[in-house]
Structure 1
Amino acid sequence: MGRNVQIVFTLLLCLLMGFHVSKAQDEKEDKKSPIQVTGSLGFYYDYYSYTQENYASFRPRYPENLLRLNAQMSINFGKHFSIPISVNVTNQDVIYNLPSVPEESALDYIQNPANNISINPKYKWAQGFFGTQTPMYTPLTTGDIPIFGVGLEINPGKFILSAAVGKSQRAIEPDILLNVPGAYEQSIITARIGVGKIEGSKFTINVVRVRDHKNSVLANPIGIEPIEGLTISPYAEFKVFKKLNIRTETAGSIFTKDLFNNGVIDEDYITAVEDFITVNASTTADFSHNTRIDWKGDKFQLGGEVQYIGPGFLPVGYRFVERDILDYKVNTGMKLFDNKVNFTGSFGIRTNNLNDTKLSSSERIISNANLFAQVTESFSVNLNYSNFGFKNDANILNQRIELVNNSITVSPSYTFKTEKYMHLITGNVALTSFEQFDVVSNAFAKAENTTYSINYNISFLEKPLSIGLQGIYLENQLPTGDFTMLNYGLIASYKMLDKKLTPSIGFNFAHVDVPGFTTDYRKNLNLRLGYKLTKKLQCKLQYRYTNFRYGNSKPGAALDQNRVQFSIQQRF
């Protein structure tokens, strides 16, 4: 870990521990202090080591030494002013994949995607954002890209104004030898203005702009062109008759796929925005629409959604989106027999290739259903079915994503109690089918998984002891080869010293069978120790040992892994 990283990590730890000490002193001196600290602060350390025999290709699964600091806190000054602070930092330089790790500056360290540092002061209806943040506006503009930068959000009365600017991707130099394609530095600007309440009914105009900085790297990334895009949408969300919610949005985007393209385009509706973004022959413009209506009653709910995304549309505030699609979806839910039976479900049809711009089209069913039934006071069962598919429209083979997943799960549970014991028996049967396009073989690969598991737990009512037994049978059918696994497990825990100290021990034994090979064996020992220093301060220590002994799939191979994890966490 570089010197600058050590300094930043130490300063953050001292600063946050200082908040804790200051708060503890304030509580002793004045229980009604106008400055209050809430949240939690945790420090974590992981140590990992391994030894192997005849397994030279094995690569460590964890870093040897990992330090993590996590704080989710809010410093409150009086009734209206607060400073939420989120800190999640580590000593790892995971952004680099190079033989030697370059020295990071303090600014590089806090911008590292492995870390998350944000300070967001708030006063009544105004809030500022400094550091890592994820602007979440609407389904067709921005919502899942974290940025490092600054932002502002105000909502006085019924006026809404939000804005953010920051870096969403750091520049990475390509390296063919290490199979690193590289990346351009990317920045995002977001803004919205409207009327209503941010967390309620509202009407807003949303604007999001993304841009790759093409001169941010010395060598152009492999197979990646610098992009620039702009998305604009009006968005409305409101309630009718208290139980009826309506949400609708129509968005338009102009997107340039390659900033190095020198070709020209003569479409007037595109060239009209060339003062705002770069326009060339790779620029496309398109629109999308989403409307959702939900009626929620006490016992019954029903809703519908329709969505269209044009082939040239891009919501620049999302990493991935399937385009050239039309979705129809129905959502429903009901509670029956005094809420003992709960059902929720959705059913939809997705059609793609609406404009015949691709070689093939498809119509897919997208559905999910969940049924929970409390059959008796002791027995319950949960059933779940889901079908999900995703497909992008990338023409480059190694960027193509296409998958379909189907799964069915049945989970019964039975509980019964005697004078001295509480018994819990749970089971699970899961059937999963996963089909994905393999860019290596240029064909679809299908995987099927069948899992059966049963768990038995007994709690002693006259003593703080609990014991659990587990059995799992797993059968996988993969393109790379089939295998089955049978796993047995035992775990026991006991509370001591007025329930402040909780030791536990767990042991698992598994054997894995692959057709054509002898059995592989795995043993796992897990020791845990938890201690409550106070009601809000606790520390945990865990040791995990894993032993692998392989059959003739890896002749004579053996692997031993040791992992020690220590944590101390304070709640305020």
Structure 2
Amino acid sequence: MHKLTYLILTLLLATPATAQDVEGFFGDIKQRLADREYLKIRGRAGARLGYNYFDDGGSGARPRNAPFTWNANAGLNFDLLGMQLPFSAAISSRNTLYNLPSYSFIGLSPTYKWITLHGGDRSLTFSPYSLSGINFRGGGFELKPGNFYVAAMRGKLRRARIQDITAIQSGLDTRYRRMATGVKFGFDNQEGTAATVSWFSSKDELEGTTDSLRRIQPEANMVLTFSGSHRLSSLVSFNVEYAQSALTRDVNSPQLADPDGRLNLFGLFDARTTTGSANAYNGSVVFSPEFATFDVKYERIAPGYRTHGSLFFQNDVERITTGARAPLFDNKLNLTASVGFQRNNLNGDQAENLNRFIGNVNASWKVSDRVTNTFGVSNFTTTNRLRTINQANQIVDSIVIAQTQFSAKAGTTVLLREDGSQTLFANASFQRADLIREDEVQGDQRSNFVLAMVGYNLKPKDGNYGLNATLLFHRNETAVVNLSSVGPTLGYQRTMLAEKLTLRVSSTYSFTSTSFRDPALGGTDRASLVQVNGGLGYELGEKQSIDLNTSLISAATTDFRPGYTDGQISLQYGLSF
């Protein structure tokens, strides 16, 4: 910890003395005291209680929910003499049927002037190469005096183990805890020149058990980053970023006697025999005339580059692209496009080389005042959280982490009436993705997701009711099985009692077909499902509401799957102030 303490003190001492404007800092507090405005509270809070009824009808189907469930959430902001104290919390009961644990997310981030403190479940972003897109449970702070920025964090990273791209998640509680610490320092003159440096470190620690067989290999990671940007003129600017990451795959392995600076990160990291080091960097030049924006980008991520500060990070990749963004034809067509090349096997030690053309195009075309079309296609590699298809006999969503290699989308919206009270729309999308498990891309678990929808909305401007109808098609193709689902949905909503009471009714019919690629696993299974939802919402006052929601699902029995009847009812209370 002495290295961390030294680094934090160094960064804090770099903060200029001009930030210590004590009179200006406390000026607002004096005014609030004089006005007797000591505390202001704004925000929202809510709670939900649910009951689930399940009847398998002798089929042997498994219930999808616990009989009783509950959750509560709050997002509040306490203004104490000008100090902002935003508080957020979410708590849920445990669903033992599908091994989903109870959760609680509670965080507080008090802010006054340029000082922000973080406590509980929070998130900070240092760099896409170090800490980004992941929460931590712990504490931290951010200081923004003038043109300077200082941030630090210490906490436990939460991480889910992904099991199968087509299965319900299980075993979400990890067998170890991953503790992380980080510091970031930055400068921005608000005129186009900025620079940041950051240090991020994490280490795995077994939690509540011992590992005598050493089946678990705890890891340690440290990442140093630097980024900078500068505007040369009103037309030209550039950005650069560099990161060096050292990763030990087993902290119990022997320590290296004389590691080089690349492995021990200039003496900050304890290098061992299982330690590896890799770098990542990118740069871009942006040209911005009045009529459009053009850019050229280069990125290289060395083989083996990893960071504990992200759920997944792609490595062994190099790409160079050029892009443009421009409004055309009097802003009727807005076009964004990027093209380039990408390759892997940067060290030349892999059996296969991948050199491919990459590009993406996104367009929005306003054909007329009533018709708007959108289109997009991309084969850039990205990391996404995807939701697998709902199966007919168990409607339980499964969220997985996957790497998308190709995606396409298209849509159109037509206003049937000028006032927008009647709308017709159609959308379609396609994604091809591979499952990511334990930081490894599973090429043999590729899925193709297809989604298509057409619909109609009716909402008279002077009416107190609305009607919607949609037809949805969803298909998920995997290496083992193909799942398809198609069906219509009808919905109706109406407000009554001076718009204090809202009635909601909807009905869905879904026909699902499952076919196994291997005949030994089974043939083709077809099933149907009917779902009816109803709800009543009542405003108790300007800031209070209560909602009663019901759902009834009936799934038919097939040769391969048991049928069931599932009924749910929930009561929800909300308060805003």
* TM-score, scaled to structure 2: 0.78
Question: How much does 1:299 deviate?
Answer: 4.5
Q: Secondary structure at the match of 1:218?
A: coil
Question: How much does 1:295 deviate?
Answer: 4.5
What residue number does 1:107 align with? none
1:129-161 CA-partner distances (Å, limit 9, x unpaired): 111222211222211232211112212123322
Q: Within 2, Cα distance between the matches of 1:289 and 1:259? A: 27
What residue number does 1:237 align with? 229
Query: Once structures 1 and 2 are overlaid, which stretch shifts more, 69-78 or 211-220?
Result: 211-220
TM-aligned CA distance change 1:409 to 1:72, over 3 Å? same
> Where do 1:274-293 residues align within 5 Å?
276-293=268-285
Q: Secondary structure at the match of 2:65?
A: coil
Retained in 1: the 8 A contact 2:186–2:196?
A: yes
| Match 1:342 to one of 334, 339, 359 | 334
Question: How much does 1:450 deviate?
Answer: 4.4
Q: CA RMSD in A?
A: 3.6
Question: How much does 1:431 deviate?
Answer: 4.0
| Match 1:300 to one of 292, 313, 338 | 292
Question: How much does 1:514 deviate?
Answer: 4.4
| Match 1:52 to one of 44, 53, 56 | 56
Q: Within 1, Cα distance between the matches of 2:139 and 2:370? A: 53
Q: Within 1, Cα distance between the matches of 2:370 and 2:507? A: 29
Question: How much does 1:193 deviate?
Answer: 2.4
What residue number does 2:44 align with? 40
Query: Structure 1 residue 560 and structure 2 residue 532: aligned?
Result: no
What residue number does 1:427 align with? 426
| Match 2:111 to one of 112, 122, 125 | 122
Q: Within 1, Cα distance between the matches of 2:91 and 2:330? A: 47
Question: How much does 1:289 deviate?
Answer: 0.9
Query: Once structures 1 and 2 are overlaid, which stretch shifts more, 480-489 or 251-260?
Result: 480-489
TM-aligned CA distance change 1:132 to 1:483, over 3 Å? closer
Query: Once structures 1 and 2 are overlaid, which stretch shifts more, 532-541 or 146-155?
Result: 532-541
1:388-415 CA-partner distances (Å, limit 9, x unpaired): 4369xxxxxxxxx985542322212211
What residue number does 1:479 align with? 479
Query: Structure 1 residue 88 and structure 2 residue 90: aligned?
Result: yes
Retained in 2: the 8 A contact 1:182–1:222?
A: no
| Match 1:540 to one of 518, 536, 547 | 547
Q: Within 1, Cα distance between the matches of 2:416 and 2:357? A: 41
Question: How much does 1:114 deviate?
Answer: 2.5
Q: Secondary structure at the match of 1:116?
A: strand
* Unaligned runs of at least 5 residues, structure 2: 1-34, 162-169, 384-400, 516-522
Q: Within 1, Cα distance between the matches of 2:288 and 2:42? A: 34
Amino acid at match of 1:568: Y
Q: Secondary structure at the match of 2:421?
A: strand
Q: Secondary structure at the match of 1:540?
A: strand
Q: Secondary structure at the match of 2:314?
A: coil
Percent identical among aligned pairs is 19
What residue number does 2:8 align with? none
What residue number does 1:62 align with? 65
What residue number does 1:164 align with? 153
Question: How much does 1:207 deviate?
Answer: 0.7
Amino acid at match of 1:508: T
TM-aligned CA distance change 1:487 to 1:335, over 3 Å? same
Q: Within 2, Cα distance between the matches of 1:486 and 1:346? A: 35
Retained in 1: the 8 A contact 2:91–2:102?
A: no
> Where do 1:102-121 residues align within 5 Å?
114-121=103-110
What residue number does 2:11 align with? none
Query: Structure 1 residue 145 and structure 2 residue 152: aligned?
Result: no
Retained in 1: the 8 A contact 2:180–2:203?
A: yes
Question: How much does 1:385 deviate?
Answer: 1.5
Q: Within 2, Cα distance between the matches of 1:293 and 1:63? A: 55
Q: Within 2, Cα distance between the matches of 1:501 and 1:307? A: 55
* Unaligned runs of at least 5 residues, structure 1: 1-30, 99-111, 173-177, 392-400
Q: Within 2, Cα distance between the matches of 1:380 and 1:418? A: 13
> Where do 1:29-428 residues align within 5 Å?
33-56=37-60, 58-79=61-82, 81-92=83-94, 114-169=103-158, 182-196=174-188, 202-213=194-205, 217-219=209-211, 224-241=216-233, 245-262=237-254, 264=256, 266-269=258-261, 276-295=268-287, 299-389=291-381, 403-417=403-417, 422-428=421-427
Question: How much does 1:541 deviate?
Answer: 2.0
Retained in 2: the 8 A contact 1:171–1:217?
A: no
Q: Within 2, Cα distance between the matches of 1:171 and 1:447? A: 20
What residue number does 1:511 align with? 511
Query: Structure 1 residue 501 and structure 2 residue 501: aligned?
Result: yes
1:96-117 CA-partner distances (Å, limit 9, x unpaired): 969xxxxxxxxxxxxx992211
Q: Within 1, Cα distance between the matches of 2:48 and 2:231? A: 45
TM-aligned CA distance change 1:489 to 1:312, over 3 Å? closer
TM-aligned CA distance change 1:149 to 1:449, over 3 Å? closer
Retained in 2: the 8 A contact 1:181–1:223?
A: no
1:518-546 CA-partner distances (Å, limit 9, x unpaired): 64111010102122223332222211111
Q: Within 2, Cα distance between the matches of 1:284 and 1:319? A: 19
TM-aligned CA distance change 1:208 to 1:563, over 3 Å? same
Q: Within 2, Cα distance between the matches of 1:242 and 1:413? A: 37
Q: Secondary structure at the match of 2:327?
A: strand
Query: Structure 1 residue 456 and structure 2 residue 448: aligned?
Result: no
Q: Within 1, Cα distance between the matches of 2:563 and 2:362? A: 43
Q: Within 2, Cα distance between the matches of 1:143 and 1:328? A: 23
Q: Secondary structure at the match of 1:118?
A: strand
* TM-score, scaled to structure 1: 0.79
Q: Secondary structure at the match of 1:541?
A: strand
Retained in 2: the 8 A contact 1:171–1:183?
A: no
Retained in 1: the 8 A contact 2:264–2:271?
A: no
Question: How much does 1:497 deviate?
Answer: 0.9
Q: Within 1, Cα distance between the matches of 2:171 and 2:142? A: 41
TM-aligned CA distance change 1:235 to 1:524, over 3 Å? same
Q: Within 2, Cα distance between the matches of 1:315 and 1:477? A: 31
Query: Once structures 1 and 2 are overlaid, which stretch shifts more, 58-67 or 533-542?
Result: 58-67
Question: How much does 1:297 deviate?
Answer: 5.8
Question: How much does 1:434 deviate?
Answer: 4.2
